[in-house]
């Protein structure tokens, strides 16, 4: 029995007759940043796509100029209990989302339509294939905000990028371009912006002609052995991330970042 397509505020879901689902982050005015609602909607989307038998392949993309700008930065309120409640609620959802991605059994393709920050980058190793527009940039500014690695990037980045590039991204706040990441195999290929979804759908449609069961079983061979370990990494990172978000170190870094951001806006 088919499940109805969820109607969500911060995610758009389309399914074509070939069983390809396009999940689109739909918070463009906030750079597709992950707040509580978007985290809930992403979880609902992934759960639905996993359980819906009609869906064979999932494409994730974003609306607007950003693919995803990662976790929405918290305000630094005077009420620390409020910050703690909000941070704990968001972190619980974030951990749940990453756990679902670790176990997702179907072919998962990212179509990076613009800038990617934070989880917009650490999400990508959970995908089986990554396509991108040439102009996209990739940055994980965790040290700038005194956070820590998340999304299992402390393990997956060194694995897929090598130790040196992983450290530049996670520890040195270096920005990489899409062409640079194609050269090292993190991105499969570049597609012009006006053709991104069309070409991604073309590739996905070609794959729908293959045995769905064979793809599921083969992906399990590729991913299964490290899934248990990734769940442990996810918990370890998430526990530390909560501590970092609540730390005085992070509050100072966020306050400085926001003040500098306001100065830039006032000069415009």
Instruction: Give residue limits of the domains in the chain.
Output: 11-266
Cα→Cα distances 250→68, 93, 102, 221, 268, Å: 22, 21, 28, 40, 27
- Map tokens 């700008």 to a residue: 69
pLDDT band at 4 (very low <50, low <70, confident <90, very high): confident
- Confidence check: pLDDT of 30 > 80: yes
212-245 and 80-103 are packed helices; what angle lies between their axes, rounded to 10 degrees? 160
Question: Quick one: average pLDDT of 108-117?
Answer: 98
pLDDT tier at 80, thresholds 50, 70, 90: confident
Report the CATH superfamily, name and number, of domain 11-266. 2-enoyl-CoA Hydratase; Chain A, domain 1 (3.90.226.10)
Query: What pLDDT sits at residue 1?
Result: 64
Determine the pLDDT at residue 75.
67
Asked if residue 77 has pLDDT above 60, the reply is no
pLDDT at residue 267 above 80? no
pTM listed for this prediction: 0.95
């Amino acid at each position: 029995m088919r499940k109805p397509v969820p109607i969500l505020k911060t995610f758009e879901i389309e399914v074509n007759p070939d069983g390809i689902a396009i999940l689109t982050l739909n918070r463009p005015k906030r750079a597709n940043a992950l707040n509580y609602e978007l985290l809930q909607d992403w979880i609902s989307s992934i759960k639905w796509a996993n359980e819906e038998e009609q869906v064979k392949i999932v494409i994730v993309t974003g609306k607007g100029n950003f693919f995803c700008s990662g976790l929405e930065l918290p305000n630094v309120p005077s009420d620390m209990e409020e910050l703690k409640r909000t941070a704990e609620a968001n972190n619980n959802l974030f951990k749940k989302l990453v756990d679902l991605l670790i176990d997702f059994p179907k072919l998962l393709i990212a179509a990076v339509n613009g800038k990617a920050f934070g989880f917009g980058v650490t999400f990508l190793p959970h995908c089986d294939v990554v396509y991108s527009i040439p102009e996209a940039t990739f940055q994980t500014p965790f040290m700038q905000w005194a956070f820590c690695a998340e999304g299992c990037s402390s393990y997956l980045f060194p694995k897929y990028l090598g130790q040196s590039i992983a450290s530049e991204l996670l520890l040195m706040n270096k920005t990489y371009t899409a062409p640079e990441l194609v050269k090292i195999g993190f991105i499969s290929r570049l597609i012009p912006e006006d053709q991104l979804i069309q070409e991604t759908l073309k590739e996905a449609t070609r794959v729908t002609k293959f045995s769905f069961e064979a793809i599921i079983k083969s992906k399990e061979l590729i991913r299964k052995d490290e899934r248990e370990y990734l769940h442990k990494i996810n918990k370890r990172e998430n526990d530390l991330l909560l501590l970092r978000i609540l730390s005085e170190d992070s509050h100072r870094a966020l306050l400085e970042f926001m003040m500098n951001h306001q100065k830039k806006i006032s000069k415009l």
